[in-house]
Structure 1
Amino acid sequence: MVSLVPPDRGRRWRRRILVLTLVVVLLSAALVVGSGMWVRRSAQGYVYDVAGVPAAPVALVLGAQVYPDGSPSPFLAARLGLARQLWAAGKVRVILVSGDHRRWDYDEPGAMRRWLVDRGVPAGQVVEDHAGFDTYDSCLRARRIFGVERAVVVTQGFHIDRAVTVCRRVGVDAVGVGDQSVRRFERAWAWGAFRDRFAAVKAVYDVVSGRDPVFLGRPEWGVRDALRG
């Protein structure tokens, strides 16, 4: 069968597609690298260990996977362990646990609360946010729904710069503590760190666009009541 496209024109089209593909790849790489640099620089000076972190009224613990039996995954348990240390050391007075509860049979905040209360944190000092569907939603809801003005954000080390940056950009005077203990899960840690590079691009979009969370709702007084108590 004879081609109807002249050889020169076919080569030109292939060249154009190659150039366009290269431009898209380079622009995407620049966006990822630039977003990561912005996240790291914005968080610089605001990330600490448990001993050195400044005190704040609230610890904001960001959600992660919960198993079908209701127990936190090792990554989430490590975050909760840090929050408990902060509370025991008097660094924070209230722990706001923020996670995904889109389905009735999957409840990150409920599992987080149970874990903390079972380990000695008074139930009245643990407040649940059931619509923390991602980092941006958790930070913005902490400020707009729960009235949090200052907080220690708790998550894994590969995530802490982004979490602190987003919280600070939406109006929370945030510092952060990042867990390193679960680095022993090398494959899961590497995947989380890799994924977070691309999540930095989303963080830039979220902050610049100022989008509303997936679910906003009415103000909730749990944090304020716990602080008064």
Structure 2
Amino acid sequence: MFTYAAALVFLVFCIRVVLDPRRFSNAVLLGITVALVSVSAFVRPPLPPASLRTAALAACALLVAGALALAFFLMANGVKMVRREGRRPGNLLTLLTGLAILGFLSLLGTAVAGRSTTLVRVAAFSAPPVGYVSFLFLCFLGYALLYGRLPRRRNVDFVVVLGCGLVGGSRVGRLLANRLDRARRLYEAQAARGNPPLLVTSGGQGGDEELPEADAMAAHLVAAGVPEDRILREDRSRTTEENLLLSKKIMQELKPDYRCVVVTNNFHVFRAALTARRTGVRGQVVGAATARYFWPGATIREFVAVFLHYPKINLGLCLVLGLLGLVAFR
């Protein structure tokens, strides 16, 4: 039964990816497929009760060990982030997430030991929402990795580069330079085929910046050998959504039936793709390299942003699941 259900869900997943890969529901369908396959492998062939209990305990032990390993990895990464990037709130995210995982495991351990009725109730309320959020995060992570490897159109009309802030108010930093270098390589590869695209540098001027990000990005591309007449500047946006909306306006004015590719960093690809779909941009998103130590915290931030984009649904489900957990363990 579970095998047939997994096959059906996977078929729906494949169809939806072909129709439009820029959907978060694709990530959920992929997660459901993996979950059904796992359950199918677990229950077939039928095991005697003693073996089933042993397998269940082994699975729980594996989950706990994995969660502990993840917690310590995130805390170590958080310390590295603070040392290299400073103590800004965003740089503390991996450290705090690791501590939160340890705290939750301690809560579960105390609840299982049955030492406190209050803690048992707290664990019963918190476990289902934590499971839901963890499932969504794994879906997000797995599909984000897959989306970044999907094939793209070889020829496009525009390459849009999303800005991400200037270092010292005027200089292109490493994250942004990686985006620009990826965009330049895309430009050169298509130009070699005789059809050079236009590049759109997208980014306005922040309160602590001396010039619009678009101007600094264009200067970086010109210095790298891109002809200045192949660069367009969108210098008013402040957010990813504005980046895409204002760049879309530029592209539509020049070519109503345009096709484009959007360049950002790899940790930002899937959320940028979701935003591109929501804003009606006709193109897929590709990623540029990011330092390994920076990637975990940035990925968690991206997931939180996607999760909170639908606050009523996600927070409402967390509350309902928590209440159901309380009722089940009364």
On whether the aligned pair clears a TM of 0.5, the verdict is: yes
Structure 1 unaligned blocks of 5 or more: 1-9, 48-52, 210-229
Q: Hey, which bits of structure 1, 4+ residues long, moved more than 4 A?
A: 37-44, 204-209
- Give the total of aligned pairs: 189
Provide Cα deviations, 1:15-43, integer angstroms capped at 9, x if missing partner: 22232232332232223233445555666
Shift in alpha-carbon separation, 1:205–1:41, aligned structure 2, 3 A: farther
Distance 1:156 1:202 in 2: 16
Shift in alpha-carbon separation, 1:81–1:42, aligned structure 2, 3 A: closer
Provide the identity percentage: 23
Distance 1:97 1:123 in 2: 12
Q: Which structure shows the bigger proportion of residues in strand conformation?
A: 1
Shift in alpha-carbon separation, 1:153–1:92, aligned structure 2, 3 A: farther
Provide Cα deviations, 1:44-87, integer angstroms capped at 9, x if missing partner: 6345xxxxx51111101111242116221122112212222333
Tell me if 1:22 matches 2:134: no
Structure with more contact order per residue of length (Cα contacts < 8 Å, sep ≥ 6): 1
Aligned residue in 1 for 2:55? none
Distance 1:117 1:129 in 2: 16
Tell me if 1:139 matches 2:244: yes
Aligned residue in 2 for 1:80? 180
Larger C-alpha radius of gyration, 1 or 2?
A: 2
TM (normalized to structure 2)?
0.47
Tell me which moved more, 158-167 or 90-99: 158-167
Distance 1:169 1:69 in 2: 30
Distance 2:310 2:230 in 1: 30
Tell me if 1:202 matches 2:302: no
Provide Cα deviations, 1:132-184, integer angstroms capped at 9, x if missing partner: 4343332333335653742111122333344334324432231344323x5xx
CA RMSD of aligned residues (A): 3.4
Secondary structure at the aligned position of 2:124 is classed as helix
Q: How far is the alpha carbon of 1:206 from its aligned partner?
A: 4.9
Q: Do the aligned partners of 1:57 and 1:151 also contact (CA within 8 Å) in 2?
A: yes
Distance 1:43 1:130 in 2: 27
Aligned residue in 2 for 1:130? 235
Structure 2 unaligned blocks of 5 or more: 1-114, 313-330
Shift in alpha-carbon separation, 1:67–1:130, aligned structure 2, 3 A: same
Task: Within 5 Å, give how 1:1-229 maps onto structure 2.
Answer: 11-37=116-142, 39=144, 45-47=150-152, 53-68=153-168, 70-89=170-189, 90=191, 92-103=196-207, 105-106=209-210, 107-144=212-249, 146-147=251-252, 149-180=258-289, 182=290, 185-187=291-293, 191-203=294-306, 206=309
Distance 1:38 1:67 in 2: 31
Q: Which structure shows the bigger proportion of residues in helix conformation?
A: 2
